[in-house]
Structure 1
Amino acid sequence: MSDSKNTRPRPHVIIAGAGMGGLTLAIALLKKGFDVDIYEQSSELREVGAGLWISANGARVMEALGLTETLQRINLPPKDRLIRYWKTGEGKSVYNLRGSTPKADHTLIQVLRAELQRVLYEAVISIKPDAVHFGARSLGAETVDGRARLLLDDGHHVDGDVVVGCDGAHSRVRQSMFGPAPARYTGALAWRGLAPMKNLKPQHREALASTWVGPTAHVTTYPVQRDGEMFVSFSAQVDSDTWHTESWSEKGDLADALNDFAGWHQDIIDLFVGSENLFRWGLFVRDPLESWSKGQVTLVGDACHSMTPYLGMGVNLTMEDAFVLSRCLEQNADTIPEALQRYDRARIDRANRTKAESLNMFGIFHSPDLAESATAWPYIHKHWSEQAVSERYDWLLQYDATSVEI
């Protein structure tokens, strides 16, 4: 809480967006004694999406915020993580490194996006009941006479000591700071869905996190739960010359999905057929930013480093951003621009490296060598060997946003 030696109030932080980044940041700041207000364009909590996983680096942030026990109540942890061959479903275990002392914790917390958002929201309003203002669409932000200002589309504005854009890949705050950031289509589109387990065959009920790999597509599947009901969450990426919108909430047609995955194992087909809804969106990338902060305005999460989902690190990097930013603001509460420069120095290189490494994974998940089993298995054993998995993930998983130097 506030430092008893300093009677000045902690800064007032204005957050644009009540997604994972905005809510995580709000909890961290409220726990440190800051005043926080979040402005969210939706009229209510409406997180679209299926599941996500929180890896060790994100889990450290959740633990520091006192949310581990709550998350475990909605977690369906996998007993193994497999790379599976698209035609037969045969798998190779990559979950537990077989070395005597693994360098990094590869444990996953698997939750529905909507459930995680609910947990975070409830943690915010338990500290400040009126912290979240719904139906408030942000247009941009600026620094005016030593104060940070969030501009809203109804013509009003809100002033505080800091404005943080947590408003996603299409961030209006980022655009107001740095101008347009053109999105480039990656040549792949993504499908996602949520299939109730009760409608699936028994093998889908196993507690496994699986990534099925093929020559032109891959699918990640894992169990999640909502109010005691079990689902299989899946996210499928497929090469496509056809451009699609960059929207997580564009409905997709089952016939198109089945065409994209023609010839795949029946277990994958069953997920598409059994899904409550199918969503399809294009995967886009933007050039990395060299700065996230300007004056007394900064950015968190997809607003400054939206990335492809191939390392499963998007939400985890966002949680890291939020916690490191809260620490920087706590250390430099009297000099906001300096706090934000510290934040930039602490975070940008790591986020941009993760963004690049994630995109590089696209060429590993999709390979002509995966077309036939004779070439596929040597390929899988090489790219998902203990050493390859360790080199790919350990540097990500070992990061600790609660203690990293700032």
Structure 2
Amino acid sequence: MTDKEKPGQSLHVIIAGAGMGGLTLAAALLKKGIDVDIYETSPELREVGAGLWISANGSRVLADLGLKEAVEAINLPPQDRVVRFWKTGEEHSVYNRDGQASKADHTLIQVLRSELQRVLYEAVIALKPDAVHFGVRTIGAETLNGRARLLLDDGKVVEGDVVVGCDGAHSRVRQSLFGAAPARYTGANAWRGLAPMSRLKPQHQKALASTWIGPTAHVTTYPVQRDGEQFVSFSAQVDSEQWQAESWSERGELADALKDFEGWNQDILDLFMQSENLFRWGLFVRDPLEAWSKGRATLVGDACHSMTPYLGMGVNVTMEDAYVLARCLEDSPEDVEGALRRYDAARIERANLTKAKSLEMLHIFHSPELERIETARPYIQQQWSAQAVRDRYDWLLSYDATKVEI
């Protein structure tokens, strides 16, 4: 395959991966008049039953792409965000949505990952119907004779002006550019599931974003919807010396989940028991990269900064990457390598700091102080005071990828 020259378009960007990063990047580039082709390993968009939070820093990108209305149509916004004690469910409100002296917007958008992927995909193909090529496996990228090349497993090559690896934590593009990045186990296993609201008790129907915290585990729950049906999406992390595969689509056994959360409030156990499917995996981290770009190739999202889910920032920081990269390429189409250097300079420090701060949260969510309610109450008051929440989130939420200096 060779590069497709299109009149009136100065760049042709090749993207590996049709996840959140690849699709956000493609939509941003196409809106700026830059040609795009995406190569995705899967034969089609996969229906993955996981929820995610879009915070203000991510929603600014979606709004600028003209997708605010489409995202609001799939949103089930929380009336409050609470921290809850693992045994009794006693709750402490931490939502700064209405300001409360905060300099940042703490509003959350709660959606299914598959629904957000659908919205982004439809935005891309509305701009270029044949932009996404499914069932194509990538093995790496390189720059040769001033051209960017995406290498495929069948021996073929796709050439363009830029190659962007949006191919996830196991990125083959990253490996080809910077070598192997060994994964280190964090000491925690993760569970996730999706429980139909119709199967649950009335208390689950409250419009709350809840994080249940305990001495060795925590569970985040919130409502989401798909085709008018409502669910409770949950993600649970538990300390464990044993680790599962680093994959968020590995099936788990209910008996193992109930053992991990023995003694927890029945509301949490009900979520596991009523979930459509249960998935279990180990949480791993990799050393931060000092550079994301090499020649005419670069990286976005989990490919360069996969992070733990403890701040809810993975997808949001990925959308930031994508939009800033699109701006850099739009500003310097005649100097691709210079544009990629500016992209690195604009993004790496923030992404790596977010990655580090996210991992630090594990030791806040899991604490011996949470064993008993008598010690848990003052601990929660301290760790989730209004000031503590502002200190933890305002610098993240106030970032605007559509305007930040590049």
TM-score (norm 1): 0.97
1:370 is aligned to 2:370: yes
Counterpart for residue 122 of structure 1: 122
Counterpart for residue 394 of structure 2: 394
Counterpart for residue 311 of structure 1: 311
Q: Secondary structure at the match of 2:181?
A: coil
Q: Give the alignment of 1:229-308 within 5 angstroms.
A: 229-308=229-308
Query: Which contiguous aligned blocks of 4+ residues in structure 1 show a shift greater than 4 angstroms?
Result: 97-100
Q: Give the alignment of 1:41-56 within 5 angstroms.
A: 41-56=41-56
Report the Cα offset of residue 96 of structure 1: 2.4
Report the Cα offset of residue 98 of structure 1: 7.5
Identity %: 76
Instruction: Please tell me whether the aligned partners of residues 98 and 386 of structure 1 are also in contact (alpha carbons under 8 angstroms).
Output: no
In the alignment, the residues of structure 2 paired with residue 213 and residue 361 of structure 1 have an alpha-carbon distance, to the nearest angstrom, of 12
Q: Could you report, residue by residue, the CA deviation over 1:199-247 in whole angstroms, capped at 9, with x for unpaired residues?
A: 0001101100000000000000000000000000000000000021100
Q: 1:298 to 1:364 in 2, by over 3 A?
A: same
Instruction: Please tell me whether the aligned partners of residues 215 and 371 of structure 2 are also in contact (alpha carbons under 8 angstroms).
Output: yes
Instruction: Please tell me whether the aligned partners of residues 102 and 394 of structure 2 are also in contact (alpha carbons under 8 angstroms).
Output: no
In the alignment, the residues of structure 2 paired with residue 134 and residue 371 of structure 1 have an alpha-carbon distance, to the nearest angstrom, of 49
Report the Cα offset of residue 97 of structure 1: 6.3
Instruction: Please tell me whether the aligned partners of residues 211 and 221 of structure 2 are also in contact (alpha carbons under 8 angstroms).
Output: yes
Instruction: Please tell me whether the aligned partners of residues 21 and 301 of structure 2 are also in contact (alpha carbons under 8 angstroms).
Output: yes
In the alignment, the residues of structure 1 paired with residue 181 and residue 64 of structure 2 have an alpha-carbon distance, to the nearest angstrom, of 34
In the alignment, residue 28 of structure 1 is paired with which amino acid?
A: A
Counterpart for residue 346 of structure 1: 346
In the alignment, the residues of structure 1 paired with residue 49 and residue 180 of structure 2 have an alpha-carbon distance, to the nearest angstrom, of 26
Counterpart for residue 325 of structure 1: 325
In the alignment, the residues of structure 2 paired with residue 304 and residue 96 of structure 1 have an alpha-carbon distance, to the nearest angstrom, of 31
Instruction: Please tell me whether the aligned partners of residues 28 and 326 of structure 1 are also in contact (alpha carbons under 8 angstroms).
Output: yes
In the alignment, the residues of structure 1 paired with residue 174 and residue 36 of structure 2 have an alpha-carbon distance, to the nearest angstrom, of 20
In the alignment, residue 160 of structure 1 is paired with which amino acid?
A: G
1:62 is aligned to 2:72: no
Counterpart for residue 4 of structure 2: none
1:102 is aligned to 2:102: yes
Counterpart for residue 161 of structure 2: 161
Report the Cα offset of residue 48 of structure 1: 2.5
In the alignment, residue 375 of structure 1 is paired with which amino acid?
A: T
In the alignment, the residues of structure 2 paired with residue 100 and residue 358 of structure 1 have an alpha-carbon distance, to the nearest angstrom, of 24
In the alignment, the residues of structure 1 paired with residue 373 and residue 381 of structure 2 have an alpha-carbon distance, to the nearest angstrom, of 12
Q: Secondary structure at the match of 1:232?
A: strand
Q: 1:246 to 1:22 in 2, by over 3 A?
A: same
- Runs of 5+ consecutive residues of structure 1 not aligned to the other structure: 1-6
1:77 is aligned to 2:98: no
Q: 1:86 to 1:170 in 2, by over 3 A?
A: same
Report the Cα offset of residue 101 of structure 1: 3.6
In the alignment, the residues of structure 1 paired with residue 28 and residue 282 of structure 2 have an alpha-carbon distance, to the nearest angstrom, of 33
In the alignment, the residues of structure 1 paired with residue 19 and residue 341 of structure 2 have an alpha-carbon distance, to the nearest angstrom, of 24
Q: 1:100 to 1:287 in 2, by over 3 A?
A: closer
Q: How many residues align?
A: 400
Q: 1:136 to 1:376 in 2, by over 3 A?
A: same
In the alignment, residue 245 of structure 1 is paired with which amino acid?
A: A
Report the Cα offset of residue 99 of structure 1: 6.2
Q: 1:162 to 1:97 in 2, by over 3 A?
A: closer
Q: Could you report, residue by residue, the CA deviation over 1:312-350 in whole angstroms, capped at 9, with x for unpaired residues?
A: 000000000000000000011000000000000000000
In the alignment, the residues of structure 2 paired with residue 122 and residue 97 of structure 1 have an alpha-carbon distance, to the nearest angstrom, of 30
Q: 1:99 to 1:23 in 2, by over 3 A?
A: closer
Q: Could you report, residue by residue, the CA deviation over 1:283-306 in whole angstroms, capped at 9, with x for unpaired residues?
A: 000000000000000000000000
TM-score (norm 2): 0.97
Report the Cα offset of residue 10 of structure 1: 1.9
- Runs of 5+ consecutive residues of structure 2 not aligned to the other structure: 1-6
Report the Cα offset of residue 8 of structure 1: 6.0
